[in-house]
Structure 1
Amino acid sequence: MNKQPFLSILSVFFLITSCGKNDKSAQPGDAAQVKEYKTVTLQPQSATLYSDYPASIQGQQNIEIRPRVEGYIDKIYVDEGAVVKAGQPLFKISAPEYEQQVRTATASIKSAQASVSAAKLAVNKVKPLVEKEIISKYDLESAQYTYESAMANLAQANAALVNAKTNLGYTTVTSPVNGVVGSIPFRLGSLVSSANADPLTTVASIGNVYAYFAINEKKLLNFTEGKTPGNTLAEKIKNMPSVSLVLSDGTPYDSKGRIETVNGLINTETGSVNFRARFPNPKSIIRSGSSTTVRIPNEVKDAILIPQSATFELQDKIFAVTVGKDGKTKNTNITVMDISAGNYYVVTSGLKAGDQIVLEGVATLKDGSQIKANNQSTETVYADLK
Structure 2
Amino acid sequence: MSVTIAALLLAGCGNDAQSDKGKGQHGPVEVGYVVAQRGNVPVPAELAGRTVAFQSSEVRPQVSGVIQKRFFAEGSIVKQGQPLYQIDPSLYRAATNQASANLASAEATAAAARTKAERYRPLAEIEAVSKQDYTDARAAQRQAEAAILQNKAQLDTARINLRFTTVPAPITGRIGRSLFTVGALVTTSQADPLATIQQLDPIYVDIQQSAASIIALRRSLASGGAVSTRAAVRLKLEDGSDYGRTGSVEFSEVVVDPSTGTVTLRARFPNPDGLLLPGMFVRAVFDQAIDRNAILVPQAAVTRDPKGNATVWIVGPGNKAVQKTVTADRTQGAFWVVTEGLAPGDRVITQGTGNLRANMDVKPVRADTPQRIAPPDAGSDQGKKAG
Q: Same fold (TM over 0.5)?
A: yes
Correspondence 1:273 to 2:262: yes
> By how many angstroms is 1:367 displaced?
9.7
Residue aligning to 1:250: 242
1:164-175 alignment to 2 at 5 Å? Answer: 164-175=158-169
Q: In structure 2, which of residues 90, 97, 102 is the aligned counterpart of residue 96 of structure 1?
A: 90
1:188 is paired with a residue of what secondary structure? Answer: coil
Deviation larger for 274-283 or 212-221:
274-283
1:1-386 alignment to 2 at 5 Å? Answer: 41=34, 43-44=36-37, 46=39, 47-131=41-125, 133-205=127-199, 209-227=203-221, 240-247=228-235, 248=237, 249-255=241-247, 257-265=248-256, 267=258, 269-270=259-260, 272-279=261-268, 281=270, 283=272, 288-292=278-282, 293-301=284-292, 303-306=294-297, 317=308, 335-337=327-329, 339-342=330-333, 344-348=335-339, 353-357=346-350, 377=368
Contact 2:209 2:265 in 1 (8 A): no
- State the Cα deviation string for residues 257-295 of structure 1 (Å, max 9, x = none): 23522332353x54x321323436495865543444141
Counterpart residue identity of residue 289, structure 1: G
- Change in Cα spacing, 1:74 to 1:152, as seen in structure 2 (3 Å) is same
- State the Cα deviation string for residues 44-69 of structure 1 (Å, max 9, x = none): 36333421212223345433332222
1:121 is paired with a residue of what secondary structure? Answer: helix
Contact 2:110 2:145 in 1 (8 A): yes
Counterpart residue identity of residue 263, structure 1: V
2:233 is paired with a residue of what secondary structure? Answer: strand
Question: CA RMSD of the aligned region, Å?
Answer: 5.0
Counterpart residue identity of residue 274, structure 1: V
Deviation larger for 77-86 or 104-113:
77-86
Provide structure 1 residue ranges, at least 5 long, that are not aligned to the other structure. Answer: 1-30, 32-37, 231-235, 369-373, 379-386
- Change in Cα spacing, 1:45 to 1:112, as seen in structure 2 (3 Å) is same
- The alignment's TM-score, normalised by the length of structure 1, stands at 0.65
> By how many angstroms is 1:164 displaced?
0.9
- Change in Cα spacing, 1:218 to 1:156, as seen in structure 2 (3 Å) is closer
- The alignment's TM-score, normalised by the length of structure 2, stands at 0.65
- Change in Cα spacing, 1:221 to 1:141, as seen in structure 2 (3 Å) is closer
Number of corresponding residues: 337
Contact 1:101 1:164 in 2 (8 A): yes
Contact 1:129 1:135 in 2 (8 A): yes
Contact 2:245 2:270 in 1 (8 A): no
1:173 is paired with a residue of what secondary structure? Answer: strand
- Change in Cα spacing, 1:221 to 1:366, as seen in structure 2 (3 Å) is farther
> By how many angstroms is 1:198 displaced?
2.0
> By how many angstroms is 1:333 displaced?
7.9
2:255 is paired with a residue of what secondary structure? Answer: coil
Contact 1:319 1:333 in 2 (8 A): yes
> By how many angstroms is 1:148 displaced?
2.5
- State the Cα deviation string for residues 200-245 of structure 1 (Å, max 9, x = none): 2333456765432222243122111013689xxxxx9xx8321322
- Change in Cα spacing, 1:275 to 1:296, as seen in structure 2 (3 Å) is farther
Query: Structure 2 CA distance, aligned partners of 1:303 and 1:340?
Result: 12
- Change in Cα spacing, 1:98 to 1:226, as seen in structure 2 (3 Å) is same
- Change in Cα spacing, 1:218 to 1:132, as seen in structure 2 (3 Å) is closer
> By how many angstroms is 1:312 displaced?
8.3
- Change in Cα spacing, 1:79 to 1:142, as seen in structure 2 (3 Å) is same
Residue identity (%): 24
- State the Cα deviation string for residues 136-190 of structure 1 (Å, max 9, x = none): 4444334333333322222221111011112222223334444443454333333
2:106 is paired with a residue of what secondary structure? Answer: helix
Provide structure 2 residue ranges, at least 5 long, that are not aligned to the other structure. Answer: 1-23, 25-30, 317-321, 358-364, 370-387
Residue aligning to 1:27: none
2:337 is paired with a residue of what secondary structure? Answer: strand
Query: Structure 1 CA distance, aligned partners of 2:154 and 2:339?
Result: 77
- Change in Cα spacing, 1:65 to 1:367, as seen in structure 2 (3 Å) is farther
1:258 is paired with a residue of what secondary structure? Answer: strand
